[in-house]
């Protein structure tokens, strides 16, 4: 594989609404991001993935785009965005944008035109039918078909009612999206995350939503007509399996550089009950096997995206770790994931070990999905209110959308205003950036060490390009792997459980490079503490 400029880079995901508010209106904004660039540089991240900041009525917090080439006034102006691009460049950092190609907002000019009449040219930008083709359910609850009385027709929406799906059969739509991408490429954006990209080949008449027959030719066309002409990095949000990941990312296909792998994070979705709002406990053996499967499957032919948290998932401590071992498990999860081969993605607040929030009442939630699913599950009697609230505590997307905890001042230093748009976690007094930056043993300082080991040490090339091998594959408790090149062989050992585990390592080592406990590691039979994780140079 050809080496790329981004292979050794770390991505940090920013959800602008919750990151930092610079003007006291209770909503994060672009100037808030600029304020924190030095913090991010010091943390050791390079590429900032911003979730959509385009004009939007914010029904789905920006994933309902009303103008792909303008800035939501809630977040600032185009001048602010230009300044952010300039300030990141000064610091050798890069911006990755989030392109929502599957749908727009119902407030987009195209959709408003489409509603004007059956012969309006924009009608064919969307998917209108005389009657619903099927009883497909929207991802956020309820039917995926919405009736428009003035047209006496229905339109299709995979997500909220206010997010009509674009008609990718229409060449005009494909051209418009390519043009929007080119607009941002010319501004110097260096990366794109593609939202639900596996949906753009859908064939509704045949009940095919993800991975339709025309999917890949469409991505290839987009590549040729837009981002393929620029030296950028791309990642797809594509819910699928290893083979489907290959179809997107083999370099000769000229589609995407990598896709997120959701098999681990969605393990807790219990489909034998009601999906994510009735979660089941995680199985860490499954997680380890899946991570290894993607390492062996993609490492020689393409590239992995290493992600345990994003704006749609709960916190990784709650999913893979243990609140009672917050510090240990958070460090262990990071070590185990971010030293694999691929690009690490850190979600805002993950680096200080932020946790899921227990909301007192339904009304504390802001997410459209929570309300759609409440109607589907509680109002129909499938779940009690309490059962639903318990599921939401574990899985609601708002867990990761509460404000970043900057310090112990009012509202965690997120806003100087009285009322943030969503609740602040009450634990902010103890868990915040300021406090952790002063504590040498904090999660934050561990992240810095981990990223610096990966990026700025003699071992960096081995961590970036070294071969992956796993050991003790039958163990349900420990994940042991090595990364090897001509210069070094490095071992990563992690106890994935909250109990003591004895392990006999299959290799000897000469140096310990990083660990989340302080102890003597020079014995081959080790008794690992809960969530103990360490990195060694193998002899
Ligand atoms: O998410 C798509 C998606 O299918 C899920 O991540 C979804 O949020 C989850 O399964 C609901 O249970 C993307 C974005 O990441 C998400 O924030 C948007 O809401 C969604 O697309 C629509 O644009």
Confidence of residue 361 (pLDDT cuts 50, 70, 90): very high
Query: 110 with 180: CB under 8 angstroms?
Result: no
Average of per-residue pLDDT across 236-259: 98
Residue pair 371/365 in contact (Cβ under 8 Å)? The answer is: yes
Give the distance (Å) from ligand 1 centre to CA of residue 105.
14
44 CA from centroid of ligand 1 (Å): 28
Q: Which atom of ligand 1 is nearest to the CA of 275?
A: 12
By three-state DSSP, how is residue 308 classified? coil
Closest C-alpha residue for ligand 1 atom 18: 63
pLDDT at 1 over 90: no
pLDDT in tens, 424-446: 999 999 999 999 999 999 999 99
Mutation test residue for ligand 1: of 195, 199, 277, 370, the one with most atoms within 8 Å of CB:
195
Residue 104 has pLDDT above 80, yes or no: yes
- Residues 53 and 81: their CA atoms lie apart, in Å, by 10
Out of 63, 106, 211, 311, mutate this one to test ligand 1's pocket (max ligand atoms within 8 Å of CB): namely 63
Q: What average pLDDT does range 152-178 have in this prediction? A: 98
Q: Which residues line the pocket of ligand 1, CB cutoff 6 A?
A: 60, 63, 100, 139, 159, 195-196, 237, 276, 311-312, 369
Q: How far is the CA of 369 from the centre of ligand 1 (A)?
A: 9
For 83, phi and psi rounded to 5 degrees? -65, -40
Asked if 78 and 70 touch (Cβ cutoff 8 Å), the reply is yes
By annotation, the residues acting in catalysis are 195, 237
Predicted confidence (pLDDT) per residue in 499-525, tens digit = 999 999 999 999 999 999 988 887 767
pLDDT digits (tens, 9 = 90+) for 315-354: 999 999 999 999 999 999 999 999 999 999 999 999 999 9
pLDDT in tens, 217-229: 999 999 999 999 9
Provide the pLDDT for residue 525: 73
Q: Measure Cα distances from 95 to 58, 122, 154 in Å.
A: 22, 32, 38
379: exposed, middle or buried (Cβ count in 10 Å: 0-12, 13-18, 19+): exposed
Nearest protein Cα to ligand 1, atom 4 = 196
Q: Which residue has the tokens 């030296």?
A: 231
* Protein residue closest via CA to atom 23 of ligand 1: 63
Query: Mean pLDDT across the stretch 293-297?
Result: 98
Look over the chain and give the mean of its residue pLDDT values, rounded to a whole number: 97
Q: Where are the beta strands (DSSP E) in 462-505?
A: 467-471, 478-484, 489-495, 501-504
Q: Which residues of 328-436 form beta strands (DSSP E)?
A: 343-347
Question: What gap in Å lies between CA 166 and CA 124, rounded to an integer?
Answer: 9
- Using a pLDDT cut of 70, give the percent of the chain over it: 100
Rounded distance from Cα 312 to ligand 1 centre (Å): 6
- If you measure from the C-alpha of residue 486 to the centroid of ligand 1, how many angstroms do you get, rounded to a whole number? 42
Global confidence as pTM: 0.98
Query: What average pLDDT does this structure show over 453-468?
Result: 98
* 484-503 average pLDDT score: 97
Mean pLDDT of 78-82: 98
Own/partner contacts of 172-178, CB < 8 Å, gap of 24 or more, are 172/124, 172/125, 173/125, 174/218, 174/221, 174/222, 174/225, 175/225, 176/110, 176/125, 177/68, 177/99, 177/101, 177/222, 177/226, 178/221, 178/222, 178/225, 178/226
Instruction: Please state the rounded mean pLDDT for residues 176-180.
Output: 98
d(CA 235, CA 257): 6
Q: What is the mean pLDDT of residues 474-493?
A: 98
Nearest residue to 64 (alpha-carbon basis) of 179, 168, 160, 128 = 160
């Amino acid at each position: 594989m050809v080496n790329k400029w981004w292979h050794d880079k770390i991505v940090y995901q920013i959800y602008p609404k919750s990151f930092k508010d610079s003007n006291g209106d209770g909503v994060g904004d672009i100037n808030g991001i600029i304020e924190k660039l030095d913090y991010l540089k010091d943390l050791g991240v390079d590429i900032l993935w911003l979730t959509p900041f385009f004009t939007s009525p914010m029904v789905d917090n920006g994933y309902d785009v009303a103008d792909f080439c303008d800035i939501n006034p809630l977040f600032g102006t185009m001048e602010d965005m230009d300044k952010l691009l300039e300030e990141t460049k000064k610091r050798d950092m890069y911006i990755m944008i989030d392109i929502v190609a599957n749908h727009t907002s119902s407030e987009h000019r195209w959709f408003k035109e489409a509603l004007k009449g059956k012969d309006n040219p924009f009608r064919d930008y969307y998917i209108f039918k005389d009657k619903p083709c099927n009883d497909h359910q929207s991802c956020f609850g309820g039917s995926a078909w919405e009736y428009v009385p003035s047209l006496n027709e229905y339109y299709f929406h995979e997500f909220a009612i206010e997010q009509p799906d674009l008609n990718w059969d229409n060449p005009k739509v494909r051209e418009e999206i390519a043009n929007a991408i080119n607009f941002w490429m010319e501004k110097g954006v260096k990366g794109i995350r593609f939202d639900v990209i596996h949906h753009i080949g859908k064939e509704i008449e045949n009940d095919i939503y993800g991975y339709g027959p025309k999917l890949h030719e469409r991505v290839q066309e987009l590549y040729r007509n837009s981002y393929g002409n620029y030296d950028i990095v791309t990642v797809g949000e594509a819910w699928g399996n290893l083979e489907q990941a290959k179809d997107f990312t083999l370099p000769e296909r000229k589609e995407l550089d990598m896709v997120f792998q959701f098999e681990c994070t969605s393990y807790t979705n219990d489909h034998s009950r009601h999906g994510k709002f009735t979660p089941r406990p995680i199985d860490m053996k499954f997680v380890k096997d899946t991570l290894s499967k993607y390492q062996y499957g993609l490492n020689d032919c393409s590239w992995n995206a290493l992600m345990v948290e994003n704006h749609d998932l709960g916190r990784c401590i709650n999913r893979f770790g243990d609140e009672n071992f917050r510090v240990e498990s958070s460090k262990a999860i990071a070590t185990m994931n971010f030293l694999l081969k691929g690009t690490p993605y850190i979600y805002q607040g993950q680096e200080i070990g932020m946790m899921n929030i227990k909301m007192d009442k339904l009304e504390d939630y802001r997410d459209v999905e929570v309300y759609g699913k409440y109607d589907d599950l509680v109002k129909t009697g499938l779940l009690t209110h309490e059962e639903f609230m318990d599921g939401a505590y574990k899985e609601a997307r708002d867990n990761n959308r509460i404000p970043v905890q900057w310090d112990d001042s009012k509202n965690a230093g997120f806003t100087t205003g009285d009322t943030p748009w969503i609740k602040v976690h009450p634990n902010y007094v103890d868990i915040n950036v300021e406090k952790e930056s002063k504590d040498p043993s904090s999660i934050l300082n561990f992240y810095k060490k981990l990223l610096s080991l990966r990026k700025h040490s003699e071992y960096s090339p081995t961590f970036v390009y070294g071969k992956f091998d796993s050991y003790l594959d039958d163990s349900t408790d420990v994940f042991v792997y090595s990364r090897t090149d001509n210069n070094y062989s490095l071992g990563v050992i992690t106890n994935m459980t909250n109990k003591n585990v004895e392990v006999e390592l299959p290799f000897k080592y000469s140096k310990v490079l990083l660990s989340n406990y302080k102890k003597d590691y020079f014995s081959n039979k080790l008794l690992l503490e809960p969530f103990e994780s360490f990195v060694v140079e193998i002899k």
